[in-house]
Structure formats: C-alpha cells, structure tokens
Structure 1
Amino acid sequence: MPVATHKTDTRANILGVARRIMAHKSYSAVGINEVLAEAGVPKGSFYHYFASKDAFGEALLKDYFDEYLSDMDRIVGQPDRPAVERLMAYWQQWRETQSLDDCQGKCLAVKLGAEVADLSESMRLALKEGTSAIVERIERILASGVEDGSITVDGDPGETAQALYDMWLGASVMAKIHRSLAPLNTATAVTRQLLHL
C-alpha cells in the first residue's frame, strides 16, 4: 500500500473514531490519547497527521460537514420530486438524527458549536463555513419551491432559510436539554406555518 494512501486511511480512521466518541462527550472532555487508543494508532504519531489539537478539531468539523452536506444533497437533490417534499424530507431526517440516544443526536454542529466557537478561531470558522453551506442549500430549495409553486414564503428566501436553520438548531439543543422530541415537533409545526403548508 502506498504511504500516502495509508496516511490518508489512518487520518480518516482517527477522525471517524473521534466523531463517534464526541457524539457522547464534549470536545474538551475527549483526550487525544483516548481517540488514538480507540483508533489503534500509536500515541506518538498524532502530530504526524495533525499539526495541533486545533488543526485536529478543524479537520474533524470539515470532515463532518463534508459528509453532512453530501447526505443533504442526496435528500434535497431529487429533481423529480417537488421542492416542498425534498425540504420536508430533510427536516424529517434532521428530526430522526436528533432523536437518537434519548435525544442526544449526532450533529456535531449542535453538540460542539457553542463550546468550540469560544475555544478556537479555526474551529469557529469551520463551523461558520459548514453551517453557511447548509443555509445556502436550504435557500436554494426554498427558491426552487417558490418557482415550482410548492412553497410560499413571506419575504426573502435567504432570510427564511437562516431563520429555519436557526430554529432547528435551537430546537435540537432544547431536545437535548429536555430529553424530549417536543421542541423538534414544534419546529416541524412552525416550519409548516412559515412555508404555508
């Protein structure tokens, strides 16, 4: 196996293991040694793959958003379905992923957002870039829905997209706090109202 491929595979393995561990802990609570031990990578080789813990955190978030956006594109990128169906399928997927493990979810933006935004500028920027890409996709599907007549929005689709994302992010945090789907149910109902469904 070429060295570059092995290095890429090991790096991806470390990031995958870290995501699984951080789904149940905070960023600060997860030690690099814990991740490396779980990944089966020697302790001394961390800096072979990442320049620092900040660089590791940034890579973790970028990797997460790459996968998230790919999955989102799969859900909303079905041109044979009306835009409203694609958008509501996205929110349903969000609801399902946030209801896992007694409403602890698996979204790193929800899990780590507030914590790491204050710890690291590079991680904050990775979160900003990733969440902005999500909002841009929501805006595009809203505009598509207005065009195909399946969605009606009051005002600018971009502002509506941002408001919807902010509401769902907040609802996910509240679902974690209350260990209840009620905030996500409310977000679904308000989304339907905002889109005049």
Structure 2
Amino acid sequence: MQTLKLDKHDKRDLILAKGAAVMMRRGYHGTGVQEIVQAAGIPKGSFYHYFASKEDFALAALASIYQPRLQRYAQALSNADKAPLARILDYYRDLQAYFSQPQGVQCHCFIGSLSFEMSEAVPAIGEHVAAVLDESVRLLAACLREAQQQGALAAEEDCDNLALFIANAWQGVLTRLKVGNDLAPLNAFVLRLERLLQP
C-alpha cells in the first residue's frame, strides 16, 4: 500500500488543525510543541520548518480558525433571503442547536482561552484577538443598521453599541460553557436576544 505524501501546505494545515485542537483543550501554557507534533503525527523538526515558535503557531492558528468563521458570519448576516434581524437570530439559534449536541458543549473557545492567557504577555496575540472581535462587531452592527433602515429597529437605537453588547454577551456565554458545561447561560442568551430583536 502506497503511503500518502502531504505537500507543504497540507502538512502545515495538518499541524495547525491538530495543534489548535490540543491548545483549545489544554490552553496555551498547557500545550507544548511536543504535544502539538504528537497530535499531528510529525517529527518535532517539521514544526520549526513551518513555525518560528509556539507564539508564531498560536497566531497562525488564530488566523486559520477565525478567518473562515468570520467569513461564515459575514455570509449569514448578509443573506438577502432573510430579514436582517432574522439572520442574526437564526445564526445564534443554529449555534444553540450545535452546542446542545453531546459533543458541542465540550467545545472550547480558542480566542477566549488565548485572550485570557496571552493578550498581555504577547501583544501580537492580543492585537489579533482584538481584530477578530472588532470585525465580528462591525459585521453585526452593519446588519443591525440594515434592520434599522427597514424600520425593524427604533431610529434612535445605537447599532454599534447594541452590536458590542451582543458580542460581549456571547463571549460570556462561551466562557460559561467552558467553565461549567452548562447550557443554561446559552439558552438564556438566545431567549434574551429573541426578546431584544423580535419586533
């Protein structure tokens, strides 16, 4: 049987995927390069071929995880087949359904873990985390403004502030899920969001 050889991009993606999964579970400080390469099934030297350090790996992992997530968020919030507020509610209801599955509640928020552990120690990580969070707020605010223009939100509503409030509340939900494996904060968030956004 012939062994499948990975090209350099595939191998880098493999290291990112497997290593990020370990770092999500164990945190930045709880994960060493040895754990990353063991998860990826590669020799330690291959890690340093693609990443200068564990910090460099964490930055690359942030980009590889959150760039596609931001793209999906942007697509969901710009879906012209739905009213703007329905797009927001459906997005978070889908996340509620996902986290309600047996494997979902075991998931951890990579960006939350890194921000708690490393934002002050490594400014580049803090800046990347802030950029991801700021972009998610910007996308949400744009969708809220569209709803406002259509008369679904009050004209005096501060859409930037509302978007920031929702995004911060969601980050709190993710923290509670990691700490307690309890769906109550998630369900409370969705219920409050429905009351906040439904006309």
Q: Do structure 1's residue 40 and structure 2's residue 41 form an aligned pair?
A: yes
| Percent pairwise identity | 26
> 2:12–2:50: 8 Å Cα contact kept in structure 1?
yes
Partner in structure 1 of residue 91 of structure 2: 90
> 1:102–1:179: 8 Å Cα contact kept in structure 2?
no
Partner in structure 2 of residue 137 of structure 1: 139
Deviations 1:137-180 (A, max 9, x none): 11111111112233447531011100110011112212332321
Q: 1:37 to 1:176 in 2, by over 3 A?
A: closer
Partner-residue secondary structure (3-state), 2:80:
coil
Q: 1:124 to 1:40 in 2, by over 3 A?
A: same
Distance 1:96 1:17 in 2: 25
Q: 1:189 to 1:163 in 2, by over 3 A?
A: same
Distance 2:118 2:132 in 1: 14
Aligned-pair Cα RMSD in Å: 2.2
Deviations 1:32-86 (A, max 9, x none): 1121122122211222111221111111111111121122123222111101111
Equivalent of 1:114, from 109, 113, 116?
Answer: 116
Partner in structure 2 of residue 78 of structure 1: 79
Residue type at the aligned position of 2:137:
V
1:88 Cα deviation after fit = 0.6
Residue type at the aligned position of 1:6:
D
Corresponding residue pairs, total:
193
Query: What TM-score results when the alignment is normalised by the length of structure 2?
Result: 0.86
Q: 1:15 to 1:56 in 2, by over 3 A?
A: same
Partner in structure 1 of residue 3 of structure 2: none
Deviations 1:76-128 (A, max 9, x none): 22111101111111212333444454733343123433122233211111111
Residue type at the aligned position of 1:143:
R
